[in-house]
Amino acid sequence: MSNVLFEEAGKFHAGRIMSEAEASLQVELESGKRQKIKAAQALVRFDKPTPPELMHWAQAQQDGIDLDLLWEFAPEDEFHFDQVAADYYGGTPGAEQRAAILLRLFGAPHYFQRRGRGGQFRKAPTQQLQAALAAIARKEEQLRQIETFAAELAAGRCPAPIADKFYQILFKPDKNSPEFKAVALAVKQTGRGALTLLRDAGAIASPWAFHMQRFLLDRFPKGTAFPPLPIPQWDETLPLASAEAFSIDDSATTEIDDAFSLQWLDDGRVRLGIHIAAPALALTRDSDWEQVARNRLSTVYMPGDKITMLPDALVQSFTLEAGRDCPALSLYCTVGDDLQAADFDTRVEKVRMASNLRHDQLDAVVTEEALAADPARQTYPHARELSWLWTFARALKRGREQVRGKPERAGGVDYTFRIDGLEQGAEAATVRIEPRRRGAPLDTMVAELMILANATWGGWLAELGMPGIYRSQSGFGANLRTRMGLKPAPHQGLGVAQYAWCTSPLRRYVDLLNQGQLIACARFGKTALLQAPFKPRDPLLFAIVESFEDTYKAYATHQSALERYWTLRYLAQQGLSTFEASVLRDGAVRVDGLPMVFTAVGAQDLPRNTRVQVQITGTDLITLEVFGRVLCQLDIPPQASEQGTEAEEEDAVALSAPISVAVDSEDSAAPENSDAAPDAPAGQAS
């Protein structure tokens, strides 16, 4: 016998025998390659036909061999393939027939189990075979279903099983599921993107719902409902503060975290109180509601809606609502004629809330001119207090700017989105976008007092060796980065030696955590570390920092996406298409008077800050893309445009990119003054 069929690493080969020893053979394959095999691997020896002819004939014949028939007459015990070949073909089968049977047995492991490498087999038990055949049938049916689904998608129809798993397929897919495979097959066959394919097939009934659901799937896969837990109570025997307080927020704000009080002392100094709602009095570490807050980490803001960190009933127990005595963590200081704060003191107490002032009701009347006039002649509430706070806030700002080495950027615009009729459905709702220039007096007062409290409390935590979560900022231009960490470090943008978020405990978990540490400091002083909820080097602190940064960024990205969606809806509702704009980088432009950045054809070769007139030629409410072009360059000085920091610009350009999905594709910086903002992001809507 001059030729041999042998098995190597699960594959069959045929070649010419060059030499043979007692336990091995030297074989030459058709390719010319020579290899040594063990004698036990030689399964069929033959003179004729040639090795290639034998392999071709056997492979062609094996598919016609009836497996059920083979299985029926195969011996119950272990057998050699030659035995079955003789029974199947009758008589003495030739080399080609033996090879065909061998390949057929080897290729049907659900019918026949290999027993070693000598060509021995054993037929599968009846129950096992039936289960295997049923699984094969299911797989074949699934393959047919995948092909059917793919054909329907290509024809512009969305099968119900794919529609039911639409968001999972696009954003959190099970890549072994038939629905995902059908979409992937349709994408391959049509050359169209998955999102386009599914949209054209009618899978997206509502663009707004699309953006909401993809966010909820990612961050709230179990839904946004709160568990049915009892609302915790706070100690109403806390001492009552000696002065009444007032807050300054937008009318849409329900989580009123901060308030202020002023007392004029006999020696001419003023005693200032900064009062922060104190949910940490009841939400102690690892309590049920503290864990809920730790899981959510922050309130999610978006135009027309929000997903709160804590339930409304719990928020209402601690929010600084007018007409109530509310639990608070208070920071007091005295301020003299030199406007320097001194004698800081932190107390846990009740504070009587006199009123809740609202930005949208007072911004137009509490102007710089009104604050400079005689407070006794003003008709708005707390005129004397606001006049003094305005003077003190400007002094605080000047002091920070001296540390920064440069003044803070003046001007800039925030936008408030007001969505009317959202309860009737997003497609029926209308949107109003109200610009609000940054640096208004009331804004400045609140921001400066929050910076003062957060910087002071951050320093106090560090002084007592108490663990806390800090925010720091360093770098220049586009490299300016804000970070969170467990060690105090300068915040370059704010011009303070350290900064810890402590003033929004109803809406941010970091503030809630830091507040718990501060309460221990206020109650136990230098021995507070023994009573603190979190001790130094607590591994949970590191996990919280990492989780918070990722989550907070995801929440901000969702807010930006919804703001962009409603801005595009606003353009359509108002019939707007032509605007003046400023060129940013990479061909992007920022539209005047709207929170809109997009890439415009013709802007890529223009210098940054160039003033242009642009036309929006199309928008996409699903991908949030805006298509437009430069109509002409305007002869307007660059300083007339609203310019942001390089980091803000980088974020704006990044957020203007279309969304991506999982089927098609196998750290940003914070604005300079973002840490100073005491309230919800500017896009929070009523």
Question: 389-441, pLDDT tens digit by residue?
Answer: 999 999 999 999 999 888 887 767 889 899 999 888 888 999 999 888 888 89
User: Which of 514, 516, 512, 517 has its CA nearest to residue 255?
Assistant: 512
- The burial class, CB within 10 Å (0-12 / 13-18 / 19+), for 76 is exposed
* CB contact set of 239 (below 8 Å; sequence gap of 6+): 347, 349, 350
Taking the CA of residue 367 as centre, how many other CA atoms within 13 Å lie in the half-sphere pointing to its CB? 4
Of the two residues 320 and 23, the one the predictor is more confident about is 320
Query: How many whole angstroms separate alpha carbon 653 and alpha carbon 667?
Result: 13
pLDDT in tens, 116-163: 778 999 999 989 898 888 888 888 888 999 999 999 999 999 999 999
Rounded to 5°, angle at Cα 326 from 325 and 327: 130
Give the integer Cα–Cα distance in Å for 471 and 482.
Answer: 7
Helix, strand, coil percentages, rounded to 5, for the chain: 40, 25, 35
- Determine which helix (DSSP H) or strand (DSSP E) holds 188, and give its type and residue range: helix 178-190
Neighbours of 89 (CB within 10 A): 15
**How many angstroms from the chain centroid is the CA of residue 576?**
31
Determine the Cα–Cα distance for residues 686 and 12; give it in Å rounded to an integer. 73
The amino acid occupying position 111 is Y
What is the rounded distance in angstroms from the CA atom of residue 659 to the CA atom of residue 666?
A: 14
Identify the pLDDT of residue 658.
59
pLDDT for 30 beyond 50: yes
Distance, in Å, from the CA atom of 362 to the CA atom of 386, rounded to the nearest integer, reads: 11
Segment holding 331, helix H or strand E = strand 325-335
pLDDT of amino acid 677:
45
Q: Which helix (H) or strand (E) holds 413?
A: strand 413-420
Q: 510 and 520 in contact (C-beta within 8 Å)? A: no
Q: In the block, which residue shows the tokens 């109403």? A: 236
Catalogue the long-range contacts made by 536-542 (C-beta closer than 8 Å, 24 or more residues apart).
536/465, 536/467, 538/467, 541/467, 541/469, 541/486, 542/486
Given a cut of 60, whether residue 177 has pLDDT beyond it is: yes
Cβ atoms of 381 and 355 closer than 8 Å: yes
Round to whole Å and give the CA distance between 200 and 198. 5
302: helix, strand or coil: strand
Q: Count CB atoms within 10 A of the CB of residue 560.
A: 20
pLDDT value of position 220:
95
Residues 138, 130 contacting (CB under 8 angstroms): no
Q: For residues 26 and 170, give the distance between their C-alpha atoms in angstroms, rounded to a whole number.
A: 54
pLDDT tens digit string along 513-564?
999 999 999 999 989 999 999 999 999 999 999 999 999 999 999 999 999 9
pLDDT value for 637: 47
Residues 371-380 pLDDT 10s: 999 999 999 9
- Split at pLDDT 50, 70, 90, the class of 680 is very low
Taking the C-alpha atoms of residue 479 and residue 618, their distance in angstroms, rounded to an integer, is 33
In the prediction, which pLDDT does 254 show? 87
The pLDDT assigned to 681 comes to: 40
Residue 481, pLDDT score: 85
**Cα–Cα separations (whole angstroms), residue 166 to 208, 473, 562, 660:** 15, 41, 20, 14
Q: What is the pLDDT of residue 1?
A: 62
User: Which token pair is 470?
Assistant: 């800090």
Say whether pLDDT at 347 is over 90: yes
Confirm if 420 and 432 have CB atoms less than 8 A apart.
Answer: yes
**Structure-block tokens of residue 586:** 């990479």
Torsion-angle region of 181 (φ positive above 0: left; ψ -120 to 50: alpha; else: beta) = alpha
Residue 668 has pLDDT above 60, yes or no: no
Q: Across the chain, what does the average pLDDT equal?
A: 89
Global model pTM greater than 0.85: no
Angle formed by the axes of helices 509-524 and 539-574, nearest 10°: 140
**Confidence band, pLDDT 50/70/90 cuts, at residue 669:** very low
Residue 263: predicted pLDDT: 97
**642: pLDDT confidence band, cut at 50, 70 and 90?**
very low
Q: Which amino acid is at 362?
A: L
Residue 651: pLDDT band with limits 50, 70, 90: low
Round to whole Å and give the CA distance between 239 and 347.
9
- Report residue 286 as tokens: 């690892």
* Closest C-alpha to 494, from 469, 473, 508: 473
Give the list of residues 6+ apart from residue 494 with CB closer than 8 angstroms, or none: 400, 404, 451, 455, 473, 673, 675, 676
What pLDDT, on the 0 to 100 scale, is given for residue 657? Answer: 58
Asked if pLDDT for residue 683 goes beyond 70, the answer is no
Virtual CA dihedral for 129, 133, 136, 138, nearest 10 degrees? -130
